Structure 1
């Protein structure tokens, strides 16, 4: 574990493991780096994996208000500079931050999994005001239930009566990961609002010159597939893949069949060797 200074003087705590080329992981919205340790361990045989908590979480510094995402990009720039890494993995809202960062940072290879990037309105957003109202009222269970249903439109639970979803969420909040997600639901909503504020054509990301692997899970929300395909067509060096037997948390479970496409992507010597 190493402590480095961000541009504004805040401390960034780096949790690194492994050996080989450096990969920086930009984690999702409602979680901390704890759920990415399996991924880091799986990649550590071939790469040096750097985890760090984004602002407002665990051992990270305070978060900018209002939230614009620029602080996240600046922190990633600091981590890349300090580690010398040129490879990045971004997940969910962290995928949005990583793609945004790739527009101006020296990222040579970028792998995104279920990246929360809204392309021409393909990701649902009508649920956001109700979730925000619940969060502002201090009802984390209701806010998290509305958020989960709004994002996970492919799941049968998203079509249950809201009262039942809230009751189920209250039970979930008793678990360690549930408590974390409940505590961070406001951050999740801030990031979701920013993502939807950047909705537009895939061409707005065409300035990203890194090699990009756009991955999503076959068992996850359906809207990631057309979104990734649109991005793959717009970015100059990108490819989209669907990973079988993987949901949104596939990156956290880090089963061998999931990890291998990412390891292959980062180990490939040329752009021609992107996984197919």
Structure 2
């Protein structure tokens, strides 16, 4: 499968062995592991679906000269604990809150479903000053596709991982356009070959597709839970940068349009020629330095000064 379908999670050839790692305990006791690179103001990167911390290794490295970058594995991945039976959006926000408390970070970059989590965190945690969001799949009047989740769950329950991953990829419109013309059995075969290749070539710290496949269910739940919440962000105190690629699916642009219309302190940048995988490592179709450039500009600029009305 090609890199820009967001299902290639192998780390780049040059590892990130020479950096610190740590963990925090979330409110319910679940361990949340993270990687830390660089020096400067603290910035947390929150990955999206079918990803782990390693998916944004190159972006973290690109930002490390200007920031202390913290990249957690979200629940169910890598060095972090399981989702738990009572999983929901609130758990993800609690996990992020624990990391922000541990690191003193007040700035967040959230990707896709990680962007939804970051957005909800900014609405409920007063310590967050700025958030940058890359194409959060906020459903506007049902715009975000979720019907595929039922078939995906059924295929996962039967142990059909390749079929389930193809269902997720096609349902969320994450594959390259040519995949719309490729027979489903061939896509399943390509996925099985890709998983086998990962299994053979796995390096320390790799979180392969086989391990990530079950997590897609939980990201789908986050999308469902966030549906219909748009107006609740109209009073958001934090400054927001909305990022998107010109080649991304239309429903992600619908979400960005809607957020831009309601957020009080917002700016938006579209990255020409890029798609939903833009922030990821280069071997999966990303262009992390272009994304890093926008993040540096946003998180380094002087803070907005609130206007104070003089008494009459």
TM-score normalized with structure 1 length: 0.91
**SS of 1:252's equivalent?**
coil
How many angstroms apart in 2 are the aligned matches of 1:179 and 1:21?
Answer: 28
Partner of 1:269: 302
Contact 1:7 1:75 in 2 (8 A): yes
Partner of 2:310: none
Partner of 1:98: 118
How many angstroms apart in 2 are the aligned matches of 1:138 and 1:207?
Answer: 44
Partner of 1:166: 188
Which protein has greater RCO, CA pairs closer than 8 Å, 6+ apart?
A: 2
Where structure 1 has 5 or more consecutive residues not aligned to the other structure, the ranges are none
> Who wins on radius of gyration, i.e. which is larger?
2
Measured against aligned partners, the alpha-carbon deviations of 1:92-120 in whole angstroms (never above 9, x if no partner) come to 11111111111111211001112122122
How many angstroms apart in 1 are the aligned matches of 2:288 and 2:23?
Answer: 30
How many angstroms apart in 2 are the aligned matches of 1:164 and 1:158?
Answer: 12
Residue 179 of structure 1, CA deviation: 7.1
Where structure 2 has 5 or more consecutive residues not aligned to the other structure, the ranges are 1-20, 282-286, 306-312
Aligned partner of 2:216 among 188, 196, 215: 188
Q: Does 1:83 align with 2:116?
A: no
Contact 1:144 1:182 in 2 (8 A): no
Partner of 1:121: 142
How many angstroms apart in 2 are the aligned matches of 1:152 and 1:70?
Answer: 27
How many angstroms apart in 1 are the aligned matches of 2:229 and 2:30?
Answer: 35
How many angstroms apart in 1 are the aligned matches of 2:148 and 2:24?
Answer: 38
Residue 227 of structure 1, CA deviation: 1.1
Measured against aligned partners, the alpha-carbon deviations of 1:211-239 in whole angstroms (never above 9, x if no partner) come to 11111112222221121011011111112
Instruction: Spell out structure 1 runs of 4+ moving beyond 4 A.
Output: none
Residue 166 of structure 1, CA deviation: 1.4
Partner of 2:292: 259
Residue 49 of structure 1, CA deviation: 0.3
Measured against aligned partners, the alpha-carbon deviations of 1:1-21 in whole angstroms (never above 9, x if no partner) come to 233332233333331111111
Partner of 1:157: 179
Aligned residues: 272
How many angstroms apart in 2 are the aligned matches of 1:15 and 1:197?
Answer: 28
Contact 2:23 2:33 in 1 (8 A): yes
Contact 1:225 1:242 in 2 (8 A): no
How many angstroms apart in 2 are the aligned matches of 1:57 and 1:256?
Answer: 25
Measured against aligned partners, the alpha-carbon deviations of 1:127-161 in whole angstroms (never above 9, x if no partner) come to 22111111111100000001001112662203433
**SS of 1:112's equivalent?**
strand
TM-score normalized with structure 2 length: 0.81
Moved more, 179-188 or 220-229: 179-188
Partner of 1:11: 31
Residue 170 of structure 1, CA deviation: 1.5
Moved more, 158-167 or 89-98: 158-167
